Structure 1
Amino acid sequence: MREAWISYTELQRMGPDVLRARISERPEEAARWVEAAALNGLVNAQIAWGQMLVDGHGVLANPAAGLRWFRVAASAGSMDGVNMVGRCHELGWGTAPDAAEAARHYHQAAEAGHGWAQFNLATLLLDGRGVPPDRREARVWYMRSAWGGNAKAMTMLGRFVEHGWDRPARPAAALRWYRRGAEGEDYRGQFDYARLLLELTGRLDFALPWFARSIANGVPAFCRNVGAALREAPQPELRRLALRALERAASEGGEASDLRAYAAALAAGLGGLSDPASAARQFEQARDAELASRAEPATSTSSTEQRPRRSRTLLARLRAHFNSRTAAPRHPT
């Protein structure tokens, strides 16, 4: 960080994005002044401090204390706080998971115009968690969130339109929504835009950069699924991207299964040439990770791990698309 202590006045002027950036530089040092600012009633510091406690970022993890700070911010009228209380109830941070309670908080913040609460409420409505399933109402909230600039909501609207979840499917219109999500740096939007662009036009040269950006921006679980899908592609360019996705999942996720999948891809020459030496090192790391995981207690599956089923469905469509095509990619003039 540029300085070990930040004044209260500076913290008051600092927006949430800047505050998060400052915290990420040296979280252990930041914890002192974020906590002090939270105790002095600065709402954006209360939100930041709550998240640090939930994540164990720069401080020992204490999700229950994090939830208390989100509630303090919410009681001061912060819709960020209300939304985060909802997240705690949805994901079981510091409390038992309760989707109905999460929906109640999301609805309160969504009605006040909070973009992420609108997105979160729409997702519960789409999945029927904590509320009766209602695709039309989910679409309304995704639309409101998208109007506010939420790129992930734009991607979800693309899926609505592509798959006809509440009205006839219109893939060409879906492509426009996916492009908006992709340009807003949503990695799922980038992938869906590339996938549908390739499916509708066959233009691999247009799709490749977006596939690459989705892999560069995606979380390890997403990269794992993308690697599994793209490795079946007939085009060598996409298989090389599959190797890159598997590498990211292995290096950043560190799970034994990801390390093993990456090792197998290296041994098989997925990127072009077989690399037995690198594959052997990855297999050794996979073995070490597996031994280490046996000593750790098992954790229950959270709702965030349950949610990617729609992503898996879309990846299955991509695999089916590859299987229906010949090995030579189509490049229309």
Structure 2
Amino acid sequence: MFPVLREETMHSRFFGFALLAALLAVPVFLVSPAFADTLSPVRNGAELLFFPWQRSAELVRELGGKPEQPLPAGVDLQALRRAAKQGDATARHRLGELYRDGAGLVRNERKAVDWFRQAAEQGYAPAQTSLGWMYMYGRGVAQDDKEAMKWFRLAAAQGYANAQNNVGALYMMGRGVPQNYEEALKWFRLAAAQGDAAAQRSVGWAYLFGQGVEQNDKEAAIWFRKGAVQGHAASQNNLALLYQAGRGVPQDYAQAMEWLHRAAAQNDASAQCNIGLAYWFGEGVAKDPAEAAKWFRKAAAQGDAQSQYNLGWLYKFGKGVPRDAVQAVNWLRLAAEQGHVQAQVLLGRMYRTGDGIGKDTEQAVKWLGRAAARGNAEACFNLGSMYLRGEGVPQDEERAMTLYREATALGSEEAELALRKLNGEGSEYPWRGDSKLVERLRTGVKQGDAEAMYDLSELYSRGYAVEPDARKDLELLEQAAALGSSRAQYALGCRYLAGEGVPRDEAKGLSLLNKAAAQGDAFARQKLKSLSGEEEQSDAAPAPAVAPPPDRDYVERFLKAAKAGDAAAQLQMAAMYLEGHGVKQNDRQTLKWLRKAARQDYGPAQALLGFLYEQGRAVRPDAEQARLWYGKAAAWYRQSAERGDMEAQFELAEMYKAGRGVPRDAAAAATWYDKAAAQGYMPAQFELGCMYLNGLGLARDEAKAREWLGRAAKQGHQEARRLSRQLKVR
């Protein structure tokens, strides 16, 4: 695995490169590149989507429309009806559009379908495409992907570019047909060759994510530019984000802003949101919260949920706008009603505390409950606390504990601590009376295991399975903290700050908290925010949560090990220099330490070196060198995988899936995912579930998809939980 600070267990599609995951987060094809109605590029916490789908239904032009819109200029409705009744296919299709959009007529989607069908049966390609769209989304007719594909194909066979792009989108998603990236790309290219801007963007997506073609950022930029110069707003937005990230084009914030403004001028909500983010972060423009708020408002007014959330957050904390709880709630509710989970959580918390709006526990339970149902750890924790105290709901300790367990499985340390406290008050506790556990922990202590020291100190502190002993508790806690256990550093730091069992020493307490926070300890970060007066702003904001940099001792410890020849420590130093984490960013030092580790035949370092050559980070892009180092990494992972190492099995599967260092082979990827999943490895269980769900590399099997996604969900995999819920609804 790639050991990066406290993020060793994080996995991305790029071999566990945790520090690089934010640069390359890959959105799932939930909808087609043109039908999209998905997330805008939120930058909070670990999630960072650089390339969101456009928030408009482009596959069928003029899709939108509010009820009772004015009749479009130049349309003679009576003449149009006469022509439609006389069998004119163009008139029939146009009349269907008016009914669909509610333009000059009362919106009536069933009548729209009737007129589309009459024109489609006459062989009119635009009507066939519109009818396919109605089937795709169940508008005025029962939803049916196969019927949608049927009508798209009929129009595509006539060379209708819009329909060809739609056929490609359905192949990309595996809707109505088996998923087939190569077939999808074939149809995208046919439409793109006719100059269809949406299809050109689709080809760009295929290159960006290596779907149906070898991944190539430069080609992605070329295709996005083709659509952008035609005035296609979504392509302009995508090209801008490539300029921001420096992928396929030199990083250029000025160019990024130029393209974003072109898209925003067309009222593209994603671009408006991205301009707001640029002003929030100060990327290519001076940091200006007020200007950020202005652009978020433009997108929010169009219904963009992420912008509504961002604007609500700004009003809550008075950033760029006057602090106004009522306005905050209004905007957060709009986002929450669209299913924006973070908005639901923040809205629920505001109602729970009565933050400037009056306490309303019924509303708090409603919104926290919705977010909890979608697997949000913070919502589960807050809702659990309400059940524990009987706030707005009947007091129910069992329900509270269930919610705390769910939150703990999702990674909430607050919930884990609350659960432990509850268990210590008389509920079942897994450590109580477990003498074998005590023996195992004592053995670990003798071997110098810091985490065993911390766990044993907990037993002595609470009197679980051993007699309470404050002296042994403190000794073990100090030993664990000295060896780098962030949990021990946090617990001991809090004791020194409070003078609990030790002399009160604020400087020592803060030092320990900072050490824990530098390793990513969430409790330590929150405690430091609280002490600095920032606690109120701990809700997810437009800005990302960034861990404090490692302190000097932390860096020195890895540097000492790296100089002594430890390959894992050398890789750690390379990662820190690559990202400027705890040290000044330095490409030369990155390559120095990475090559030292790679030349020791250390697979994770070889994989990262291949990745850097592939992406042109810290080195000039060199496809041959990338293949060389990926190949060495694959050989290393294979040896470890064949010995039964589940993490190596997972990484080897990832390489087969992406075609890095080995030929792309979905079946081989599935085989190695299966081996790792059988050993209980959560990321592999999730990937295997997805492969069964999509029929990728093995026969599609929804029952097995449910099984493996369920196993991953039980271990706390949030996306697995979401997919499992969707499958249960079917």
Within 5 Å, which residues of 2 pair with 1:261-280? 261-268=346-353, 273-277=356-360, 280=362
2:171–2:177 contact (8 Å) kept in structure 1: yes
In 2, the alpha carbon distance for the partners of 1:49 and 1:239 equals 48
Q: Over aligned residues, Cα RMSD in angstroms? A: 3.8
1:64–1:93 contact (8 Å) kept in structure 2: yes
1:256–1:285 contact (8 Å) kept in structure 2: no
Within 5 Å, which residues of 2 pair with 1:160-309? 160-198=242-280, 199=282, 200-220=285-305, 222=306, 226=310, 235=319, 237=321, 243-253=329-339, 259-268=344-353, 273-277=356-360, 280-281=362-363, 283-284=365-366, 287=369
Cα 1:235–1:133 shift into 2, 3 Å: same
| Cα distance per residue 1:284-319 (max 9 Å; x no partner) | 3664898899xxxxxxxxxxxxxxxxxxxxxx9951
* 1:34 lines up with 2:116 in the alignment: yes
Q: TM-score, with normalisation over the residues of structure 2? A: 0.36
SS of the residue corresponding to residue 139 of structure 1 reads helix
In 2, the alpha carbon distance for the partners of 1:109 and 1:34 equals 22
- Of 93, 98, 101, the residue aligned with 2:180 is 98
Q: Which amino acid aligns with 2:139?
A: H
In 2, the alpha carbon distance for the partners of 1:34 and 1:173 equals 42
Structure number, greater radius of gyration: 2
2:197–2:232 contact (8 Å) kept in structure 1: yes
2:96–2:111 contact (8 Å) kept in structure 1: no
| Structure 2: segments with no counterpart, 5+ residues | 1-67, 72-76, 102-106, 376-539, 549-730
Cα 1:323–1:229 shift into 2, 3 Å: farther
In 2, the alpha carbon distance for the partners of 1:153 and 1:15 equals 28
1:187–1:213 contact (8 Å) kept in structure 2: yes
Q: CA deviation at 1:217?
A: 2.6
In 2, the alpha carbon distance for the partners of 1:317 and 1:158 equals 23
SS of the residue corresponding to residue 237 of structure 1 reads coil
| Cα distance per residue 1:252-274 (max 9 Å; x no partner) | 33x8886454322444566xx13
In 2, the alpha carbon distance for the partners of 1:127 and 1:256 equals 26
Q: Which region of structure 1 is more displaced relative to structure 2, 125-134 or 225-234?
A: 225-234
Q: What residue in structure 2 maps to residue 73 of structure 1?
A: 155
Identity of aligned residues (%): 22
Cα 1:95–1:169 shift into 2, 3 Å: same
| Structure 1: segments with no counterpart, 5+ residues | 294-315, 325-333
- Of 200, 215, 237, the residue aligned with 1:155 is 237
Q: CA deviation at 1:89?
A: 0.8
In 1, the alpha carbon distance for the partners of 2:155 and 2:358 equals 53
Q: What residue in structure 1 maps to residue 90 of structure 2?
A: 12
Q: CA deviation at 1:19?
A: 5.3
1:231–1:238 contact (8 Å) kept in structure 2: yes
In 2, the alpha carbon distance for the partners of 1:322 and 1:21 equals 50
Q: Which amino acid aligns with 1:263?
A: G
Q: Which region of structure 1 is more displaced relative to structure 2, 197-206 or 172-181?
A: 197-206
In 1, the alpha carbon distance for the partners of 2:345 and 2:243 equals 37
SS of the residue corresponding to residue 127 of structure 2 reads helix
In 2, the alpha carbon distance for the partners of 1:322 and 1:288 equals 27
Q: What residue in structure 2 maps to residue 319 of structure 1?
A: 543
In 2, the alpha carbon distance for the partners of 1:119 and 1:37 equals 29
Q: What residue in structure 2 maps to residue 107 of structure 1?
A: 189
Cα 1:123–1:243 shift into 2, 3 Å: farther
Q: CA deviation at 1:111?
A: 1.4
SS of the residue corresponding to residue 201 of structure 1 reads coil
| Cα distance per residue 1:96-152 (max 9 Å; x no partner) | 222221111101111110110001110121111222111111111101101111111
1:157–1:177 contact (8 Å) kept in structure 2: yes
* 1:61 lines up with 2:139 in the alignment: no
Q: What residue in structure 2 maps to residue 331 of structure 1?
A: none
Cα 1:268–1:164 shift into 2, 3 Å: farther
In 2, the alpha carbon distance for the partners of 1:211 and 1:269 equals 25
In 2, the alpha carbon distance for the partners of 1:100 and 1:238 equals 52
Cα 1:116–1:265 shift into 2, 3 Å: farther
| Cα distance per residue 1:66-94 (max 9 Å; x no partner) | 10000000111211111110111112221
SS of the residue corresponding to residue 248 of structure 1 reads helix
Q: TM-score, with normalisation over the residues of structure 1? A: 0.75
In 2, the alpha carbon distance for the partners of 1:292 and 1:208 equals 28
2:272–2:295 contact (8 Å) kept in structure 1: yes
In 1, the alpha carbon distance for the partners of 2:165 and 2:119 equals 21
SS of the residue corresponding to residue 198 of structure 2 reads helix
Q: CA deviation at 1:190?
A: 0.5
Q: Which amino acid aligns with 2:129?
A: I
* 1:117 lines up with 2:199 in the alignment: yes
Q: CA deviation at 1:231?
A: 8.1
Q: Which amino acid aligns with 2:267?
A: E
